[in-house]
Structure 1
Amino acid sequence: MTTTTPRRTDLYPTRTVAEPRPQRRQDPTVWSTAEGPLDRDRLEQYDRDGYLVLDSLLSPEEVEHYRAELRRLSQDTSLHGTDRVVREPDSNEIRSVFEAQKISPVFADLIHSPRLADIARQVLGSDVYVHQSRVNYKPAFGGAEFDWHSDFETWHSEDGMPRPRAFSISIGLTDNYDFNGPLMVMPGSHKTFIPSVGETPPDYHKESLRVHRLTVGSVDHDSLTRMANEHGIHQVTGPAGSAVMFDCNILHGSNGNITPYPRSNIFIVYNSTENTLEEPYAAPQPRPQYLGNRDFTPIPR
């Protein structure tokens, strides 16, 4: 007598077809109606647009405190040469440093703070944990662009995240101008899942985190054009200390930064403890721990 393991259901198939077939999202954006830090109007705005700006999340004093920690991490030679540090594609400048909550008690306190975690619990309707965290530097005079993509497409394919029950918060530690490569989003695009064409190469994260253009995991030009025509493109600007939270499936990207003004931020991804990672849906093996956290311990209340 033989037994077979039941085949799991993949609600968002991707990287398995020759042509992308966009599908309607099957899951909510806001998973709870419970009261919390966000009032009803802001929850409805987030549900409709897939992103929400949080003005003055940090005080000027806090901005200086976290900016000093940003500088310290960039100068920490014990991190240099480790996989946590990703360099710019055209220089040796630091592009990102991952697992901020593990290498920086200063950032860990912010990431685990109730003012952020309570928003995550309210929106995701459960306890939450940190799926990923990093600091992004977007240095002056050459910070490279980030190609258009849906985070969930990558997290589903390469990390094994089952459903789009996660979101990111990007907190500006420098001013976000309209000319230094700010975040661009397509409002409402989070309600459509667009699969990517092509198979995931082994250790693809070593390439995808640094290249100018993604070969796998990007959105095809025809789909991008249709989505931009339907939803438009918004730039998210604002002073240091402001933040933007955005759904894991929204289409977003950013231009390069050739100005004298860096665009640096602390970036946190919160995932529901009811949406923990499985085996990758479309990759040979999971990405490393610093990219897709497999310690699902909830942030303490």
Structure 2
Amino acid sequence: MTTDQDLYPTRLSEPKAPLTREHPTVWGDAGSGPFSAEELAAHETRGFTVIDDFLDAQEIAAYSAELQRLSDAPELARDERVIRERQTGAVRSVFAVQQLSEAIDRLTRDPRLLDRARQLLGSDVYLHQTRINFMPGFRGTGFYWHSDFETWHAEDGMPIPRAVSCSIALTDNYPFNGGLMVMPGSHKTFVSSVGATPADNHESSLQAQEVGVPSESDITSLAERYGIDQFTGAAGSALWFDSNIMHGSGNNITPFPRSNIFLVFNSVDNALVQPYAAPAPRPEHIAHRENVTPLR
């Protein structure tokens, strides 16, 4: 475990009251990127921003074909970067996807993404994590309420919540097909979890997260304070959301599948150290620590 000061302690032996976040959500200003001052202020307050028509129809088709290619690739059948549903064995996620797809590698460097990530984080950025997610119709399983930063801090050694995620929808997101739910404003509160991190926790948590999740009482308090919004929108829309926002998704029992490209940008000034609450760092394909060269 790291000897650096831990400003966001978690995986505790007993419950602790939620902490008020010490760090800003938006580190840049209107002059440093495409977001306007009004958009930045809204993002600082809510913790997320939705951009419609981020990708056009041709791009959606091209990236969807890449997702299908990777899902079906026989050479990846036993690759550790491929995460499968616990019950059905269907592909749930493919991690470090920029290593497997030239098209998605180019997308991570697209100015539409890179300029916004730099503006929100106020610095050069690198990729902390990338993946593609699948939620098939009828049998796609969701994720329980959680803060990504809680996991990235505890298990990866991310010092502070100076990271932002971009989820780009490749299928329509309806209110009823397992869309992402967020608690607007909850990114201002850090909720510690109770219980030590088991060794190799990632081997099960990427299928169903059971360690590092908030208590039902904490979820209830956050929901009563902040309310719950849901990310809906047509294919091609993009959701930018803060690393500490409380979010989750339900199962998809509809015939309408859901898939997205998920990119996490971290500030180069927030590079990973040793985990704050885990026996060892997670593998490189889940949390990149070997190369923090700024994206260009």
TM-score of the pair, normalised by structure 1: 0.96
Q: Does the Cα contact within 8 Å between 1:142 and 1:256 map onto a contact in 2? A: yes
Aligned counterpart in structure 2 of residue 184 of structure 1, from 167, 172, 181 = 181
Report the Cα distance in structure 1 between the residues aligned to 2:199 and 2:36, rounded to whole angstroms.
Answer: 44
Aligned counterpart in structure 1 of residue 91 of structure 2, from 90, 94, 98 = 94
Report the CA distance between 1:16 and its aligned residue.
2.2
Q: Secondary structure at the match of 1:78?
A: helix
Report the Cα distance in structure 1 between the residues aligned to 2:270 and 2:284, rounded to whole angstroms.
Answer: 17
Report the Cα distance in structure 2 between the residues aligned to 1:93 and 1:147, rounded to whole angstroms.
Answer: 19
Q: Does 1:151 align with 2:148?
A: yes
Q: Does 1:80 align with 2:77?
A: yes
TM-score of the pair, normalised by structure 2: 0.97
Q: Which residue of 2 aligns with 1:16?
A: 12
Length, aligned pairs only: 293
Q: Does 1:105 align with 2:112?
A: no
Q: Secondary structure at the match of 1:217?
A: coil
Q: Does 1:221 align with 2:213?
A: no
Q: 1:67 corresponds to which letter in structure 2?
A: S
Q: 2:140 corresponds to which letter in structure 1?
A: G
Aligned counterpart in structure 1 of residue 261 of structure 2, from 263, 266, 270 = 266
Report the Cα distance in structure 2 between the residues aligned to 1:167 and 1:17, rounded to whole angstroms.
Answer: 29
Q: Secondary structure at the match of 1:198?
A: coil
Q: Secondary structure at the match of 1:274?
A: helix
Q: 2:134 corresponds to which letter in structure 1?
A: Y
Report the Cα distance in structure 2 between the residues aligned to 1:165 and 1:122, rounded to whole angstroms.
Answer: 12
Structure 2 residue ranges without an equivalent (≥5): none
Q: Which residue of 2 aligns with 1:174?
A: 171
Q: Does the Cα contact within 8 Å between 2:13 and 2:196 map onto a contact in 1? A: no
Report the CA distance between 1:35 and its aligned residue.
2.9
Aligned counterpart in structure 2 of residue 28 of structure 1, from 15, 24, 27 = 24
Structure 1 residue ranges without an equivalent (≥5): 1-5
Q: Secondary structure at the match of 1:137?
A: strand
Q: Does the Cα contact within 8 Å between 1:181 and 1:255 map onto a contact in 2? A: yes
Q: 1:276 corresponds to which letter in structure 2?
A: A
Provide the alpha-carbon RMSD of the alignment: 1.0
Report the CA distance between 1:140 and its aligned residue.
1.1
Report the CA distance between 1:256 and its aligned residue.
0.5
For residues 254-293 of structure 1, the aligned pairs below 5 Å read 254-293=249-288
Identity %: 53
Q: 1:18 corresponds to which letter in structure 2?
A: E
Report the CA distance between 1:20 and its aligned residue.
3.1
Q: Which residue of 2 aligns with 1:43?
A: 40
Q: Which residue of 2 aligns with 1:3?
A: none
For residues 42-61 of structure 1, the aligned pairs below 5 Å read 42-61=39-58
